[in-house]
Amino acid sequence: METTHTTQPRPTHTSLVAVGDSFTEGMSDLLPDGTYRGWADLLAGRMAAVTPGFRYANLAVRGKLIRQIVDEQVDVAAAMRADVVTLVGGLNDTLRPKCDMGQVRGLLTEAVERLAPHCGQLVLMRSPGRQGPVLERFRPRMEALFDCIDELAEKHGAVVVDLYGAPALGDPRLWDVDRLHLTAEGHRRVAEAVWQTLGYPPEDPDWHLPPEATLPPHWVARRVADVRFARRHLLPWIGRRLTGRSSGDGLPPKRPELLPYDGDPLHGAL
């Protein structure tokens, strides 16, 4: 008897809205013109390449806490009624010295309840965590946040992209010198993960695997990097925490309107 093979149809999403903080804005995938690209732009570029007239908005602003995301981005995103909405938030809250996880959970629940009825598919994420002492210190809070995300996804029909469980995205080599944001390669892998979760055919089935092993840096080089990190990134970050300031204060959303997206090579191609 002749065997017939069926090909799973490619999704036909016509619009994407991204909601969140610096992770979704694209730090630290820096472009030559001084702007950030990031996984959401890369994903939009891919989707635009297979769907004529594809539209994209990115409301993310670096440094935003979950309260600010709910107050400033959620209703705007819901009103756009996009085929796909991605929501990543709450991780900045878990890194604050004083973090009320009950409040974070409540705000994240509010965000999901307001977004899910007004989009075709809501995408949530278990954010990546860089290996090291910072992750270990805040791991209980992060995992409590991820448990909440899993529960909300099941209740509201959202999908969850598990970046936290991907060995590649714990590898320090895929994190920028600030140790808080992914490199361009890290963002590429996140875009691939979301792409596959939405049902598109894999282009990199091994996105979750770490890069090939390399020789570790010499002790002196590591200490120099530690000092540079503390001076350029850690101390300013602590200063903002102590004064209640944010790196995103006064900054507008990255791409505030849901407009056609051409996925140009500079900003959106993989």
120-178 pLDDT per residue, tens: 999 999 999 888 877 788 899 999 999 999 999 999 999 999 999 999 999 999 999 88
181 contacts 140 by C-beta, under 8 angstroms: no
Q: How far apart are CA 123 and CA 11, in angstroms?
A: 15
Per-residue model confidence (pLDDT) at position 137: 87
Torsion angle (degrees, nearest 10) of CA 19, 23, 24, 26 = 150
Torsion angle (degrees, nearest 10) of CA 260, 26, 124, 166 = 130
Per-residue model confidence (pLDDT) at position 266: 46
Q: Compute the 3-state secondary structure of the chain and give helix, strand, coil in percent, each to the nearest 5.
A: 45, 15, 40
- Which tens digits make up the pLDDT trace of 166-180? 999 999 999 998 888
Q: How far apart are CA 233 and CA 102, in angstroms?
A: 29
- Which tens digits make up the pLDDT trace of 186-232? 999 999 999 999 999 999 999 999 987 665 555 444 454 444 544 55
Per-residue model confidence (pLDDT) at position 229: 44
pTM for the model stands at: 0.85
